[in-house]
């Protein structure tokens, strides 16, 4: 941000109106506008992971990749071609893969396990708890095809409970990036983080809008736009839908503060509190069950230090089903329209005596 110097006549400093105009102009320059966020292209977040692990492997020879028969789906082909000696095909044996990964850390390796999110958590939770989390092993659990946007594979594969499962494990870092560029940056960053990490991303092509040159900071929320009327906290695919919702709300004269909570644990509590103390109400939006999700983590922070009206956009205690990503997001209420509706509801609740 540049520096602007105001040169004024002496008598202007005594005018309240003049001083007010100066501060209003300065605020408008400083404010991060939602209108400045534009879609670059559409790419799969899992493809961002594929590019990220290749770059991480080039930077650190200790990085190794493991998969449970899903190298193509997890976009590992470039890594395998460049580092064939640092790739382990575990076959359809996810629990064994977690045990192998835990063992590799003892020799100083940094293993990235790869499979679908459902198989990365529900199927192997005992192995993660006992062999990885309990002893703080430096394993990176990389989980694709998360949430409803997995699509046609249906409820058995659409894990919607994984954030809750993983954030409850002591010492587990939980990251849910929002687009291709951020997934790539997060994949690179976790190689330098000591301790277990759960990295969650998705299957479909999705809006790619964050900077390709970004540096991912674990535990630091990303403020996409500043505003005064309502705070919207989102993660994963729902961030772009929140961007679209915020633009339409702004067109209606509603000032939105939009924050991408890409790190669910450790949570950036300072950013949450700073925002809701200013706006007085909030919305959380995520592709996950309401119970145990990002929204509950945010609510815990607010209830303790700054209780405000809070509305949720999340899956409401149900399993998914087969359908296209768009059909499923619409049916389960994970849309920009839903975000707009609950934002207005949160604002109305704030105004109630």
Active site residue ranges: 94
Task: Please give the helix or strand (H or E) that residue 265 lies within, else none.
Answer: strand 263-265
Is residue 141 a contact partner of residue 162, using CB atoms and an 8 Å limit?
no
Does residue 214 come out as left (phi exceeding 0), alpha (psi in the -120 to 50 range) or beta? beta
Question: Angle formed by the axes of helices 238-251 and 336-351, to 10°?
Answer: 60
Beta bridge partners of residue 265, listed in sequence order: 174
Is residue 325 a contact partner of residue 146, using CB atoms and an 8 Å limit?
no
- CA 329 to CA 340: how far, in whole Å? 15
Dig out the tokens for 39 from the structure. 């879609």
Please name which of 178, 184, 259 lies closest in space to residue 215, comparing C-alpha atoms.
184
Beta bridge partners of residue 230, listed in sequence order: 256
- CA 186 to CA 49: how far, in whole Å? 8
Is residue 235 a contact partner of residue 260, using CB atoms and an 8 Å limit?
yes
Beta bridge partners of residue 67, listed in sequence order: 89, 114
Q: Kindly tell me the burial class for residue 98, based on how many C-beta atoms sit within 10 Å of its own C-beta (0-12, 13-18, 19 or more).
A: buried
Task: Please give the helix or strand (H or E) that residue 187 lies within, else none.
Answer: helix 180-189
User: For 190-324, where are the alpha helices, taking DSSP H only?
Assistant: 238-251, 269-279, 294-305
Name 75's Cβ contacts closer than 8 Å, sequence gap at least 6.
44, 46, 47, 49, 50, 51
Please name which of 35, 80, 40 lies closest in space to residue 224, comparing C-alpha atoms.
35
């Amino acid at each position: 941000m540049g520096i602007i110097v105001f040169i004024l006549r002496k008598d202007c400093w005594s005018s309240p109106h003049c001083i007010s105009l100066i501060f209003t102009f300065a605020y408008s320059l400083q404010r991060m506008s939602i209108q400045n966020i534009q879609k670059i292209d559409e790419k799969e977040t899992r493809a961002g992971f594929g590019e990220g692990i290749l770059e991480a492997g080039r930077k650190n020879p200790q990085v190794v990749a493991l998969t449970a028969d899903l190298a193509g789906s997890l976009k590992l082909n470039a890594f395998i071609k460049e580092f064939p000696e640092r790739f382990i095909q575990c076959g359809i044996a996810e629990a064994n893969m977690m045990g192998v990964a835990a063992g590799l850390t003892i020799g100083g390796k940094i293993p990235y396990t790869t499979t679908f999110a459902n198989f990365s958590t529900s199927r192997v939770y005992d192995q993660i708890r006992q062999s990885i989390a309990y002893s703080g092993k430096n394993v990176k659990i990389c989980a694709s095809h998360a949430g409803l946007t997995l699509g046609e594979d249906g409820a058995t594969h659409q894990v919607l409970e994984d954030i809750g499962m993983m954030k409850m494990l002591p010492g587990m870092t939980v990251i849910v990036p929002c687009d291709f560029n951020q997934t790539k940056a997060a994949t690179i960053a976790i190689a330098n983080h000591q301790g277990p990490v759960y990295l969650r991303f998705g299957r479909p092509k999705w809006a790619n809008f964050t900077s390709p040159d970004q540096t991912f900071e674990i535990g630091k929320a990303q403020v996409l736009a500043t505003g005064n009327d309502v705070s919207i906290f989102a993660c994963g695919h729902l961030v772009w839908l929140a961007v679209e919702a915020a633009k339409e709300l702004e067109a209606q004269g509603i000032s939105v503060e939009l924050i991408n909570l890409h790190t669910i644990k450790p949570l950036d509590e300072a950013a949450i509190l700073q925002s809701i103390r200013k706006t007085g109400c909030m919305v959380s939006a995520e592709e996950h069950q309401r119970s145990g999700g990002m929204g509950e983590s945010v609510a815990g922070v607010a209830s303790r230090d700054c209780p405000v009206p809070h509305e949720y956009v999340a899956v409401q205690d149900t399993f998914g089903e087969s359908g296209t990503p768009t059909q499923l997001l619409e049916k389960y209420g994970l849309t920009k329209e839903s975000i707009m509706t609950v934002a207005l509801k949160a604002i109305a609740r704030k105004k109630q005596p």
